């Protein structure tokens, strides 16, 4: 039967007139070169920006320690280097780290092992991951809409989106988070209607590594399992959702067991969620110039005063912070929900905040804000319209819509900074490309 189908397909191809087959090959070749050119420019943009940022940082800071801190503000590259030099996941020798998720440092340690300890190695890794994110966005869009032009539009948006260029050229984990999210979504889009156990194992592995890169994604896996359960027959749950959860739990379980041995309590992700969540409830959202960590140094808050009086580290004080957040939710719900709304609004703000000033002058920051407003804001509007069109036309975009919605809820509970906005765009760019194609199709007709 299979051979018959192959022969029929070959016969159809043979029957196509020579001029028509040549035009088909020309179109396919043109699409290949279009994709190749876009990816090439994506690489050049990220590399050029990384070169500028790296040189600017080394000129601005005098000591090597300041330069390394500026290039690696969250400390993940230092953790990767520590794994190579001391065999410890630790910023401080002798003190094991539990407040930072392990996968990104492990990946950095692997590339440093082969290519040396220079920060250029880590930046190059992010540039390459950033280009791969562009390709994966194209692949996800193509799997949803089955339209090459829509896929090319999504590739263009991903390649030239200023935020993705910015974070691909820095030592943040955002490009890796985007990549793992796209792998998970692509596997779901391709295999959601099948019972392919390997596909669900891939989804579970991608999700597990995503949670080991940023732990607030853990609740999104539960929501995804419910979505999957609504589309899969009960008798097939074990070979699909069960395999997905098993792969994720194995990865998370190793990290959780390690944290339990260190802290003597169960920590599935990073042991800094409670403190960040509590500090975000104290934050004055009308004064963005004041750091989130300010109350820790001031010591005026009663809960923080207790923590300081007991000489507890933030890791040790996490249960106290979570309990205090629950008390605020119960006894002062307006305080809790006011902060929640501010954080969600901040997460969806369509322009950069001062966090973008890392390698820039004030003039450049103002220019980026304007560019960000037109690019981020434009993609959001196109994505909203594209979601309505795609939903109305019956395209399977449920998980693409659910993904940024769930992220908004999770980060509304914890803390939202502008760079978390970059991952939201995973669930927006494909629909924005579809809307862009619809606009051009109207003009062409």
What is the predicted pLDDT for the residue at 182? 97
What is the predicted pLDDT for the residue at 12? 41
Beta bridge partners of 95: 92
Dihedral class, residue 116 (left if φ above 0, else alpha if ψ from -120 to 50, else beta): left
What is the predicted pLDDT for the residue at 5? 40
What is the predicted pLDDT for the residue at 28? 52
List Cα–Cα distances, 431 to 51, 97, 111, 127, 380, in angstroms.
Answer: 32, 39, 35, 25, 9
pLDDT digits (tens, 9 = 90+) for 34-56: 999 999 999 999 999 888 888 87
Q: Show the low-confidence residues of the chain (pLDDT under 70).
A: 1-30, 58-68, 351-374, 445
pLDDT digits (tens, 9 = 90+) for 56-107: 776 666 666 666 677 788 889 999 999 999 888 888 887 888 888 999 999 9
Token reading at 4: 């018959």
Residue closest to 214 by CA, chosen among 7, 416, 5, 428: 416
Contact of 72 with 53, CB cutoff 8 Å: no
- The C-alpha angle with vertex 246 and arms to 132 and 105, in degrees rounded to 5, equals 45
What is the predicted pLDDT for the residue at 350? 75
């Amino acid at each position: 039967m299979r051979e018959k189908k192959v022969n029929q397909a070959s016969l159809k191809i043979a029957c196509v007139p020579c001029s028509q087959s040549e035009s088909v090959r020309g179109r396919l070749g043109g699409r290949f070169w279009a994709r190749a050119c876009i990816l090439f420019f994506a690489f050049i943009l990220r590399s050029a920006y990384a070169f500028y940022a790296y040189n600017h940082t080394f000129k601005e800071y005098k000591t090597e320690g300041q330069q390394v801190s500026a290039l690696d503000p969250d400390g993940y590259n230092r953790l990767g280097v520590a794994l190579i030099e001391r065999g410890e996941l630790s910023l401080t020798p002798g003190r094991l780290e539990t407040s930072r998720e392990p996968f990104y440092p492990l990946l950095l340690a692997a590339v440093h092992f082969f290519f040396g300890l220079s920060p250029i190695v880590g930046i190059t890794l992010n540039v390459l991951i950033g280009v791969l994110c562009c390709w994966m966005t194209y692949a996800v869009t193509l799997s949803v809409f089955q339209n090459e032009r829509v896929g090319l539009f999504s590739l263009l948006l991903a390649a030239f989106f200023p935020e993705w260029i910015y974070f691909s050229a820095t030592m943040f984990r955002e490009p890796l988070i985007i990549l793992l999210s796209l792998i998970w979504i692509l596997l779901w889009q391709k295999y959601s209607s099948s019972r392919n156990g390997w596909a669900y194992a891939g989804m579970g592995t991608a999700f597990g590594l995503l949670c080991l890169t940023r732990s607030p994604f853990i609740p999104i896996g539960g929501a995804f399992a419910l979505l999957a359960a609504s589309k899969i027959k009960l008798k097939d749950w074990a070979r699909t959702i069960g395999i997905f959860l098993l792969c994720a739990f194995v990865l998370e379980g190793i990290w959780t067991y390690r944290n339990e041995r260190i802290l003597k309590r169960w920590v599935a992700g990073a042991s800094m969620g409670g403190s960040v969540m509590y500090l975000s409830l104290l934050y004055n959202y009308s004064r963005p110039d004041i750091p989130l960590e300010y109350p820790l140094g001031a010591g005026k808050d009663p809960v923080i005063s207790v923590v300081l009086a007991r000489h507890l580290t933030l890791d040790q004080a996490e249960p106290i912070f979570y309990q205090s957040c629950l008390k605020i939710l119960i006894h002062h719900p307006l305080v809790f929900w006011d902060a929640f709304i501010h954080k969600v609004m901040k997460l969806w703000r369509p322009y950069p905040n001062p966090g973008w000033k890392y390698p820039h002058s004030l003039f450049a920051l103002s220019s980026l804000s304007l560019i960000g407003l037109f690019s981020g804001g434009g993609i959001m509007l196109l994505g909203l319209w594209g979601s309505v069109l795609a939903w109305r036309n019956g395209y399977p975009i449920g998980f693409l819509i659910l993904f940024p919605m769930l992220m908004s809820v999770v980060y509304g509970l914890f803390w939202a900074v502008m760079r978390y906005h970059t991952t939201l765009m995973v669930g927006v760019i494909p629909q924005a490309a579809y809307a862009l194609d619809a606009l051009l199709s109207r003009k062409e007709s």
